[in-house]
Structure 1
């Protein structure tokens, strides 16, 4: 299992600069922390993978769990867990519970 920090929202992950979409400073900081968390994870190269995510939310605000996916999936590719998130053939996410002190994503990646 890979435990990643709580990701930035899709609204704060991207920024437009001179007509181009770029990862924001907040998004880049998240990627650095996520890559460090995934350093000892198994590597799958170009193999197809299944990804299961359990989201431990920081508060009881309404949020769409599908908006949590972009930053951590891209960070896992950047960390070399798999080469590209197009290799994901099965993906599930569930709201696991509330953890104000340690909001996080608990991610399981397996060969598919």
Structure 2
């Protein structure tokens, strides 16, 4: 009888190990980016410049894109993505933090981290403590299937 219990236990353990492996596969997350950028992106209000009937990226937007391009390696990920972005503004002025999200996500796409900003299924946007000069912390992960 003791052998029967042991073999049942072994089968149960093997089943549990398979279940755990399968569960881990479904929850796998691949970190693509974890960085800090020592500046704040332009808000949507300062992202575009109008010239006649055309709109162009502002100098601030171009500068932010260039900085991100220097710091972020192109992955060209096609997976669904999750981003945690923390904006540390240079002062305590009232700001809508969602106005700064557009420039940040566009920069990640322009530098080649992702193919399109529609890939971001989960966005966590936070306001951090005041930092002199401003700071943006960005964490991007691929979501498991």
Give TM-score, length-normalised by structure 2.
Answer: 0.70
Matched, 1:9 2:40: no
Match of 2:52 among 18, 26, 36: 18
Match of 1:104 among 109, 122, 135: 135
- State the distance in 1 between where 2:78 and 2:54 align: 29
Unmatched runs of 5 consecutive residues or more in structure 1: none
Query: Which 4+ stretches in 1 moved above 6 angstroms?
Result: none
Task: State the match for 1:84 in structure 2.
Answer: 116
Structure with more strand by fraction: 1
Cα displacement string for residues 5-25 of structure 1 (whole angstroms, at most 9, x for unaligned residues): 211121211011231222112
Give TM-score, length-normalised by structure 1.
Answer: 0.89
Please state whether the residue corresponding to 1:90 is helix, strand or coil. strand
Cα displacement string for residues 68-105 of structure 1 (whole angstroms, at most 9, x for unaligned residues): 101111000011111110000000111111111x4111
Q: CA RMSD in A?
A: 1.5
Please state whether the residue corresponding to 2:129 is helix, strand or coil. strand
Unmatched runs of 5 consecutive residues or more in structure 2: 1-33
CA contact 1:77–1:83 (8 Å) conserved in 2: yes
Please state whether the residue corresponding to 1:45 is helix, strand or coil. coil
Q: Decide which structure has the larger Cα Rg and report it.
A: 2
The number of equivalent residue pairs is 109
